[in-house]
Copies of this chain bind each other. A is one copy, B any other.
Amino acid sequence: MENIEYVLPGDIEKRSFEIISRELEERNIVLPKDQELVTKRVIHTSADFDYAETMTYSEHAVEIAKELIRNGADIVTDTNMALAGINKKVLARYGGTAHCFMADEEVAKEAKERKVTRATVSMEKAAAIEKPVIFAIGNAPTALISLYELMEQTGFRPAFIIGVPVGFVNVVAAKELILKTDVPHIVNRGRKGGSNVAAAICNAILYQL
Contacts and interface: CB of A to CB of B under 8 A. Distances in A.
B47 A167 contact: yes
Interface string A70-102: 000000000111111100000000000000000
B1 A115 contact: no
Contact of A47 (B7, B85, B115, B192): B192
Given A1-B145, A9-B116, A81 B196 contact: yes
A24 to B, nearest CB: 12
Contact of A20 (B82, B168, B196): B168
Nearest to A174: B4
Contacts of A192: 46-48
Q: Interface residues of A: mostly helix, strand, loop or mixed?
A: helix
B167 A44 contact: yes
A169 B169 CA distance: 34
A99 B167 CA distance: 28
A83 B83 CA distance: 12
A168 B15 CA distance: 8
A170 B111 contact: no
A199 B9 contact: no
Given A1-B148, A176-B3, A191-B47, A12 B196 contact: no
A176 B2 CA distance: 11
Interface in A39-75: 44-48
Interface of A: 1-5, 7-9, 12, 15-16, 19-20, 44-48, 79-85, 111, 115-118, 142, 145, 148, 166-174, 176-177, 190-196, 199
28 contacts: A1-B145, A1-B177, A2-B173, A3-B173, A3-B176, A4-B170, A5-B169, A5-B173, A7-B170, A8-B115, A9-B115, A9-B116, A15-B168, A15-B169, A16-B168, A19-B168, A44-B167, A45-B166, A46-B192, A47-B167, A47-B168, A47-B192, A81-B81, A81-B84, A81-B195, A84-B84, A194-B196, A195-B196
